[in-house]
């Protein structure tokens, strides 16, 4: 009888379970922001006279970094037909700022865990 080396091999990263997203609450602490960067408001936003906010959704990883950073929603106030290129530049600036954030990670039973957060980034021109 031959041994099957593939059966005994540990799973590769693509075969392993995805990391669970814990819910902040009773047994999961909230992450603590320890480093942030303000987004650079592009000149096109000032030129278009845009005001409002961007909601950015992301994960805080067990090592305190951010991942899966994306725009959840953008609210523009006082503009019937905002300049879409200026809005896109603003959204990219917000994503870049959040990607640079560092956190003291959330913990569950003393172990760092992944959590999902939203942050609102306000802007005025």
Each residue's pLDDT tens digit, 38-67: 998 888 888 888 889 999 999 999 999 999
Bridge partners, 85 (sequence order) = none
Q: Which domains does the chain have, with CATH numbers?
A: 36-123 (3.30.2420.10)
**Across the chain, which distance is largest between two alpha carbons, in Å?**
76
Task: Say what the pTM is.
Answer: 0.81
Token pair 């994960």 is at which residue? 59
Residue pLDDT, tens place only, 12-28: 444 455 789 999 999 99
Q: How many residues does the chain have?
A: 125
């Amino acid at each position: 009888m031959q041994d099957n080396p593939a059966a005994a091999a540990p799973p590769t990263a693509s075969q392993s379970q995805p990391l669970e997203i814990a819910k902040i609450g009773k047994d999961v602490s909230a992450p603590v922001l320890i480093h942030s960067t303000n987004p650079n408001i592009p000149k096109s936003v000032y030129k278009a006279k845009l005001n409002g906010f961007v909601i950015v959704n992301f994960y805080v990883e067990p090592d305190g970094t951010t991942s899966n950073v994306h725009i959840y929603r953008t609210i523009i106030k006082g503009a019937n037909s905002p300049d879409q290129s200026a809005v896109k530049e603003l959204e990219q600036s917000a994503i870049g700022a959040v990607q640079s954030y560092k956190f003291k990670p959330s913990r569950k039973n003393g172990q760092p865990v992944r959590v999902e957060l939203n942050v609102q980034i306000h802007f005025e021109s």
